[in-house]
């Protein structure tokens, strides 16, 4: 489990009494893990603040030497292209490299326009990697960057709508990216900055500023989506059209496709009401769980207990608080099995 406070590893026990044990911090990650990618054969690729790119094998931990242009060895994004290849972005010089396991890093050359200088990699859809350059968004195709929509700054969110269209968030607006890379529909006047967006029936739920907005792509309208009286911190796909929303002080919210909200707080057994990043995890015995950054450490909640609670069949959630430091920084990444979320 990777956080601003380092990379933490834990072993899963065979029974409920020993589900999680032997937690320890991975060497040289105390200055923060910025991104994580699940590599082949159970490996994990870590982008760190001061220690560059690290690769963790099941029994080995190595440092990948990056060129000097990645100032201070800040690797801010590791974007998986396939099982053994990743795009690695260095913050200092705003450069990107293609790294294949066991090979030297190769500079990812922009295709013509200097606005294709990569800031981060943000989304993979149908085998295409969408990147956020200094101005607009771009596609990674056959080893080169193809510029698409030019924006005043890098896209702060890239998301695919229900109809398959790709949208980029920038400042206080969403811009559709057409198949030829040019802009299509534009939805303006949203709160700024747009932090992330999740597909939702009819359009998106967007976290912008201190608000959650429901955006209708057909009418180009946005309205405030009211959540518990606390600042929303993260949005994540909850499956079947539902969306998770974490809040800072108001607990966890699940929004159903029809707009119905389910709310859980510490009164229901949630380990903490001050939450950040949220993502799925497979626990012992294939137990489906939700992982949550919190002020008290890494919190894990059984999804089946959340479902039972929402039906009134359970008073207290099945939840665990792992003995890690506060994990509620802006980044939080989970590696469970062969899947990674960020």
Whether 336 has a pLDDT exceeding 60, the answer reads no
Q: Could you read off the pLDDT of 152-194 as tens digits, one per residue?
A: 878 888 999 888 899 999 889 999 999 888 999 999 999 988 9
Give the single-character DSSP code of 283: -
Contact assessment for residue 293 and residue 329, using Cβ atoms and an 8 Å cutoff? yes
What's the rounded Cα separation, in Å, for the pair 132 and 145? Answer: 10
Residue 55: pLDDT over 90: no
Q: What is the pLDDT of residue 242?
A: 94
**Could you tell me which residues are beta bridge partners of residue 319?**
301
Position 337 pLDDT exceeds 60:
no
What mean pLDDT do residues 124-143 have?
Answer: 80
List pLDDT tens digits, range 230-246. Answer: 899 889 999 889 999 99
* CB-based burial, 6-32: b 16+ in 10 Å, e otherwise: bbbebeeeeeeeebbeeeeebebbbeb
pLDDT in tens, 17-39: 455 544 555 665 555 666 767 66
**Helix (H) or strand (E) segment spanning residue 309:** helix 303-310
- The four Cα atoms 254, 260, 261, 267 give a dihedral, to 10 degrees, of -110
- Give 88 or 195, the one with higher predicted confidence: 195
pLDDT at 339 over 50: no
CA distance 324 to 8: 8
User: Which residue in this structure is represented by tokens 């030829």?
Assistant: 180
Task: Give the span between the Cα atoms of 60 and 136, in whole angstroms.
Answer: 39
């Amino acid at each position: 489990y990777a956080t601003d406070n380092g990379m933490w590893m834990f072993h899963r026990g065979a029974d409920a009494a020993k589900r999680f044990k032997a937690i320890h911090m991975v060497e040289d990650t105390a200055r923060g893990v910025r991104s994580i990618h699940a590599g082949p054969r159970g490996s994990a690729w870590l982008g760190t603040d001061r220690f560059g790119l690290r690769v963790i094998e099941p029994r080995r931990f190595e440092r990948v030497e990056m060129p000097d242009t990645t100032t201070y060895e800040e690797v801010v994004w590791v974007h998986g292209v396939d099982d053994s290849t990743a795009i690695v972005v260095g913050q200092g010089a705003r450069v990107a490299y293609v790294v294949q396991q066991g090979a030297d890093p190769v500079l990812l050359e922009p295709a013509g326009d200097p606005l294709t200088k990569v800031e981060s990699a943000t989304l993979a859809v149908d085998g295409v990697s969408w990147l956020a350059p200094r101005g607009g968004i771009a596609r990674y195709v056959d080893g080169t960057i193809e510029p698409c929509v030019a924006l005043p700054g890098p896209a702060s969110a890239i998301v695919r709508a229900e109809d398959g269209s790709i949208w980029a968030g920038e400042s206080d607006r969403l811009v559709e990216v057409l198949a030829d890379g040019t802009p299509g529909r534009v939805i303006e006047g949203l709160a700024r900055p747009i932090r992330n967006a999740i597909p939702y029936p009819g359009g998106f739920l967007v976290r912008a500023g201190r608000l959650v907005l429901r955006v209708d792509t057909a009418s180009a309208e946005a309205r405030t989506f009211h959540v518990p009286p606390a600042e929303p911190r993260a949005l994540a796909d909850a499956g079947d059209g539902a969306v998770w929303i974490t809040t800072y002080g108001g607990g966890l919210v699940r929004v159903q496709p029809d707009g119905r909200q389910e709310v859980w707080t510490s009164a229901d057994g949630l380990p903490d009401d001050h939450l950040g990043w949220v993502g799925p995890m497979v626990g012992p015995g294939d137990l489906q769980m939700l992982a949550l950054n919190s002020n008290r450490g890494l919190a894990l909640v059984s999804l089946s207990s959340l479902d039972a609670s929402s039906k009134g069949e359970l008073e207290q959630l099945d939840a665990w608080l792992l003995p890690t430091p506060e994990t509620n920084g802006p980044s939080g990444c989970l590696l469970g099995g062969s899947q990674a979320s960020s």
